Amino acid sequence: MNTPPTLQFKMATEDSEFEQVHRLNYRTFVEEIPQHERSAEERLVDKFHPENTYLICLSGDHLVGMMAARGKRPFSLDHKLPNLDSYLPPGRRPCEIRLLAVEREFRNGQVFRGLTALLWQFATERGYDLGVISGTTRQLKLYRHMGFEPFGPLVGQGEALFQPMYLLRENFEQKAEELLRPPPVRPEPANFLPGPVAVHDQVRAALARAPRSHRGGEFTVLMRSVSARLCQLTNAKKALVLAGTGTLANDAIAAQLSLTREPGLILCNGEFGGRLADQASRFGVGFDRLDFP
């Protein structure tokens, strides 16, 4: 029985990842879609490469999918449609999405869904509410299914024709649940004991890499991303990440409860429930305690 490959979705940061971006770019937009001329080195560096943010999918160390996003004007479409803004809804903060490419053997929807989720996170964090693309005419059905609206004439030539399209944030929100819903999988056995704790493959891979400075720009972007995702999941206005043990978690809960100045109820059915009650008492939280045998 073949085990499906573990996929990692991230922003490209390593030299090896950027090199694979150039080579996948060549295979897609030279060999498959004849948009550019062939070259002996079989790599294609995008003209906006220094300004692009590459959202990528890795299978192990191998790049299997990517797309690029960029908010700086002029866009690529600005050079193809001289009066681009006349086609776009006013009062928006647009970014251009380009270079969507997935290796043939990974075109089963999983990579595309993951890249789409990463793009949604990227746009949300940076405040973009309009996405602009030049969609290949070979995939117009897919783009329309995502909520993209075509505008203006076709651009490109020969077999490399592209339809300018835009996507409003609110239109994508209507499609997001359907598009980003993961395919059904056979669940792993659940362990309800205190340990050992199962570690996801992506976490194992992250722990195996060299540590990054907590004062660096990449770490700052990552923490903002985690906080934004936590706020989205919990419908909270703010979210903080605390590094510590379960005792620290109980301290944080007790401290937060002390701010309400209202009576509460703590249900204790084990070690940590009792410890929470003890810590809440130290913080001066008024509560009733109910112990379960």
Domain match, 263 and 172 both: no
Residue at 33 is within a domain: yes
Domain end point (choices 162, 180, 198) = 180
Kindly state whether residues 31 and 176 are assigned to the same domain.
yes
pTM over 0.75: no
Q: Is residue 263 part of a domain?
A: yes
User: In the predicted model, what is the mean pLDDT of residues 49-64?
Assistant: 96
Together in a domain, 23 and 127: yes
Q: Which residue has the tokens 């060299």?
A: 210
Position 233 in a domain: no
Distance CA 8, CA 202 (A): 7
Output DSSP code: residue 269: -
134 inside domain: yes
Using one digit for the tens of pLDDT, what is the confidence trace for 94-147?
999 999 999 999 998 889 888 988 888 898 889 999 999 998 888 888 888 888
Residue 71 domain-assigned? yes
Whether residue 265 is found in the same domain as residue 133: no
Q: Is 50 within a domain? A: yes
Q: Is the peptide bond before 196 cis (omega within 30 degrees of 0)?
A: yes
Beta bridge partners of 216: none
- One DSSP character per residue, 84-140 reads GGGGSPTT--EEEEEEEEE-GGGTTTHHHHHHHHHHHHHHHHHT--EEEEEEEGGGH
Judgement on whether residues 107 and 11 belong to the same structural domain of the protein: yes
> Is residue 248 over pLDDT 60?
yes
d(CA 279, CA 192): 25
| Angle, in degrees to the nearest 10, between helices 217-234 and 110-126 | 100
In sequence order, the 6+-apart residues with CB closer than 8 A to the CB of 202 are: 6, 8
In a domain, 146, yes or no: yes
Number of structural domains the chain divides into: 2
Looking at residue 92, its amino acid is R
What is the per-residue pLDDT for 235? 87
User: Residue 74: is the preceding peptide bond cis (ω within 30°)?
Assistant: yes
DSSP 8-state symbol, 187: P
- State whether 166 and 250 are in the same domain: no
Nearest-angstrom CA–CA distance, 253 and 230: 16
Q: In the prediction, which pLDDT does 184 show?
A: 60
Final residue before a domain boundary, out of 131, 160, 180 = 180
First-last CA distance in the chain: 45
Same domain? 34 vs 125: yes
Convert the pLDDT of each residue in 73-92 to its tens digit. 999 999 999 899 999 999 99
Highest average pLDDT, of 108-112, 187-191, 218-222, 266-270, comes from 108-112
**Residues 34 and 174 grouped into a single domain:** yes
For residue 167, the domain's CATH number is: 3.40.630.30
46 near 26, Cβ under 8 Å? no
Please tell me whether residues 55 and 173 are part of one structural domain: yes
Mark which of 144, 164, 180 sits at the end of a domain: 180
- List the one residue out of 205, 211, 236, 241 whose CA is nearest residue 223: 241
CA 204, 22, 130 angle in degrees (round to 5)?
85
Predicted confidence at residue 121, as pLDDT, reads 86
Where in the sequence is the domain holding 250, given as residue range(s)?
246-291
